[in-house]
Amino acid sequence: MKKDNITIILAPLQGFTDVTYRNVFSDHFSGVDEAVAPFISTMGQRRLKPSRIKDVDPANNKNLFVTPQILGNVAGDFIFLADHLYEMGLKKINWNLGCPHSKIVKKKERIGAFTVS
């Protein structure tokens, strides 16, 4: 519940705060106003991973407003995913600019590594 104009946003934890977690959480607890979903990695060749799209589909997230997060290092793939999410009714995107996990760092999925295609 919003109090004193402060918005409490559930932080994303990849592998934990997925749609099931968020729905169970909001069924049993209050105090969180909205959530940022764990990052969706961009995929090449105009592909989308269905499970990641389902995770942020507003139809599956009726209790808690969810903002999808994108992680990727190819501008065209980022735009493709962002456009798809926008068409699904998700008008806000959270842009992950620096996941410190070593597996992700190796892929250079950060703004410094963005390429234009």
Ligand X SMILES: Cc1cc2nc3c(=O)[nH]c(=O)nc-3n(C[C@H](O)[C@H](O)[C@H](O)COP(=O)(O)O)c2cc1C
As a whole number of angstroms, the distance between CA 117 and CA 111 comes to 14
Given the complex with ligand X, which of 11 and 75 has the nearer CB atom? 11
* Contacts to ligand X from residues 76-115, by CB under 6 A: 96
Beta bridge partners of 94: 69
Site size for ligand X (CB under 6 A): 9
**CB hemisphere CA count around 22 (13 angstroms):** 30
Query: x/- site string to ligand X, residues 20 to 59, per CB under 6 A?
Result: ------------------xx--------------------
Taking contact as CB under 6 A, which single stretch among the options 12-20, 27-35, 53-61, 107-115 is the one that binds ligand X? 12-20
**CB hemisphere CA count around 32 (13 angstroms):** 20
Taking contact as CB under 6 A, which single stretch among the options 9-17, 50-58, 85-93, 106-114 is the one that binds ligand X? 9-17
Question: Which residues are near ligand X by CB under 6 A?
Answer: 11-15, 38-39, 69, 96
